[in-house]
Amino acid sequence: MDQHVSRRSVLAGAAAGLAVPAAVTVGAAPLAAAPVAATMAEGVTRRITLYAEALPGGLFGYGLAPGQATIPGPILEMYEGDILEIDLVNNTDQRLSIHPHGVDYSVDSDGSPLNNSFNNPGQTRRYVWRTREMSPAIGRRYLPGSAGYWHYHDHAMGTDHGTGGVAKGLYGALIVRRRGDILPDKQFTVVFNDGTINNKVAPNTPMFEAKAGQRVEFICIGHGGLPHTFHLHAHRWVDNRTGYLESPADPSHVIDNKNLDPGSSFGFQVLAGEGVGPGAWMYHCHVQFHSDGGMVGIFLVRNPDGSMPAGAQASIDRFRGHTHPTASHNHG
């Protein structure tokens, strides 16, 4: 159920700025149906089927095929200009929906009970997400395009705001890229959801793995009812749209700790272990009683050849014995 995605080879060339159609990825390998990069100049329309299903422990997830639901759901990707049509199949016995952040949609794709936009149990419903490039406004300014590290989530289970669905795992990352954005080698979705990461607590939180030097993309999403801050050890990023300095004059903050509060999301790329070497690096909520309560995981940077760095296995073993000195966390 992890999100250890390693699919970028199928998109070779895209980093050089070629147009790439909407991509859908999940799991540890490229999705069979994922598109190979092409040199199309226009946005594309893609249709996928997403299945909402019950998972063990009272949880729920979205998946790209029956029986393949995960928490978080698959990473959905688009380029500015693309359209994504989602046929959401509700294989549960509860009302639910899918509501995206960042993209364009009509009221019937809002995913909200307010607009009567949800799936009853057993129902299939189509949601359409559209994207755009930046466009000129008056005064030499520009209306923003859709590019961003966004997310999607249920907006109908439990309450009219999907509080039940979000608490139980119905969420995932949505990336809209601008032409020319740098593509990563690996991607990790990190969801701070009440006192959990991806609805798990240490030592069962995801261990994200990369080889030293790989370009790794984190997509961080906040959910639930509590404030959080995301901290990654030994790596830092620019607090702007891409996580890179867009020029030497880019005035943005460089950070390694950022608020990750309900409904917010951000993303960035790092070269795994760059300047610090391989090792078992922590990522965690920096709210002290949240990290103590289990909101912590390991970003394992392996040696360039994929072997385990010296000392890393001992660190992992210590982590596996992680205890919770406080009981104040909240299993969402």
321: amino acid identity, one letter: G
Structure tokens at 267: 């993303």
Residues between 145 and 204 that touch a second copy (CB under 8 A): 145-148, 158-163, 166-167, 180-182
Does residue 244 interact with a second copy by CB under 8 A? yes
Left if phi > 0, otherwise alpha if psi is -120 to 50, otherwise beta: which for 170?
beta
Q: Which range of residues in 31-39, 41-49, 53-61, 98-106 is near a second copy by CB under 8 A?
A: 98-106
Using the rule CB under 8 A, is 238 a contact of a second copy?
Answer: yes
Q: Does 290 bind a second copy (CB under 8 A)?
A: yes
Q: Which residues pair with 296 in a beta bridge?
A: 284
Cβ 1 to a second copy, closest distance in Å? 23
Residues 327/293, Cβ–Cβ less than 8 Å? yes
Element (H, E) at 317: helix 312-320
When asked if residue 303 is in the footprint of a second copy (CB under 8 A), the reply is no
Token pair 């990461």 in the structure block, residue = 197
Which span (23-31, 43-51, 62-70, 220-228) binds a second copy, by CB under 8 A? 220-228
CB 223 within 8 A of CB 262: yes
Interaction of residue 322 with a second copy, rule CB under 8 A: yes
Residue 34 DSSP class: P
Is the Cβ of residue 6 or residue 252 nearer to a second copy in the bound state?
A: 252
For a second copy, the binding residue among 192, 237, 283, 299 (CB under 8 A) is 237
Query: CA-to-CA distance for 45 and 22, rounded, in angstroms?
Result: 8
Among 7, 125, 130, 177, binds a second copy (CB under 8 A): 130
Q: What is the dihedral of CA 76, 77, 78, 80, to 10 degrees?
A: 120
With CB under 8 A as the contact rule, the residue among 87, 143, 306, 307 that binds a second copy is 143
| 269 neighbors 216 (Cβ within 8 angstroms) | yes
Count the residues of the shown chain that bind a second copy, applying the rule CB under 8 A. Answer: 106
Cα separation of 282 and 208, whole Å?
Answer: 10
Residue type, 220: C
Question: Contact between 128 and a second copy (CB under 8 A)?
Answer: no
Q: Which of 85, 213, 234, 303 binds a second copy (CB under 8 A)?
A: 234
311 vs 182: CA distance, rounded Å? 32
CB of 56 to a second copy, least distance (A): 23
Structure tokens at 21: 């159609």
* The binder of a second copy chosen from 41, 139, 305, 327 (CB under 8 A): 139
**Looking at 44, 49, 236, 331, which residue binds a second copy (CB under 8 A)?**
236
CB 71 within 8 A of CB 56: no
Q: What does the per-residue mask of binding to a second copy show for 245-284, with x meaning CB under 8 A?
A: xxxxxxxxxxxxxxx-xxxxxx----x--xxxx-xxxx-x
Q: For the CB of residue 59, give the shortest distance to a second copy in the complex, in Å.
A: 16
* Residues from 28 through 67 that contact a second copy (CB under 8 A): none
